[in-house]
Amino acid sequence: MTDTAVLTERQGHILIVTINRPEARNAVNAAVHAGIGTALEQAEHDPEIRVVIVTGAGDKSFCAGADLVALSRGESLAPDDAGQQAWGFGGFAAHPISKPVVGAVNGFAFGGGCELALMCDLIVAADTAQFALPEVKVGLFAAAGGAFRLAQQLPRKLAMEYMLTGDPIPAPRAAQFGLVNHVVPLADLMPTAIALAEKIAANAPLSVQASKRVALGIDEGRIAADAPFWEHNTRERAALMRSEDAREGPLAFAQKRKPEWKAR
């Protein structure tokens, strides 16, 4: 791809998609959104691609979520194109495809980065990786699918603990509860993810894709069961963003002080 914010590499029937902004902890801006979403579209419509791997550049961060520096400059985190905006945060949060997606989580997956990981069908994580939805600490909530997907993918009470405290989930603990498939040393991350992808790619492609669509309820590029969650999500986000606390949280974060919550 021409934009180096996201790199793509083909290995046989596998497409490796790398968020390539290590200097920004692989945070999502409009270029990342467009890059990931376009790569997923490419994979979906290329019969030679059977599995996608999504990872982050470097050894510290898979994805730190939204690019707060870009937001502070008044930049949008999504492209101007309405069709690309419909893909959801990072070009992926509301963009299910038929091809299996393996997340190779090489470091912190916080906020929107965790929400991107939750969209992956399988996860291989470095033993130093952590997952977190810390939005409640800054007056927001995980509005890119995390608020309902974490509760779908972990036991309910465990999901509520991590979502309501904003505390991180270390990769080994995430694996204990099925959020992660394999935990390996960082040096073994990509070889393990590629081996898993190759094992899937060796199977009948149409059978694999049909299995995923039925398992997740994907029909015409959408997960029907997610529709009421997204509708509720939109209402809650609109109400929350009108609150004083939603302004106080980011302001306190920027000023490096403890927020003063008003519950209004």
23 is catalytic: no
Catalytic residue of the set 23, 41, 115, 161:
115
Q: How many CB atoms lie within 10 A of CB 165?
A: 13
Sequence-distant (≥ 6) Cβ neighbours of residue 205 within 8 angstroms:
13, 47, 50
Catalytic residue of the set 44, 135, 220, 244:
135
The radius of gyration of the chain's CA atoms, rounded to the nearest angstrom, is 18
101-105 β-sheet, strand order? 6-11, 14-19, 51-56, 101-105, 122-126, 182-184
Which residue's entry shows tokens 């060796």? 202
CB-based burial, 35-47: b 16+ in 10 Å, e otherwise? bbbbbbbbbbeee
220 is catalytic: no
The widest CA-to-CA distance across the chain, in whole angstroms, is: 56
Full DSSP string of 115-152: HHHHHSSEEEEETT-EEE-GGGGGT---TTTHHHHHHH
Tell me the catalytic residues: 115, 135
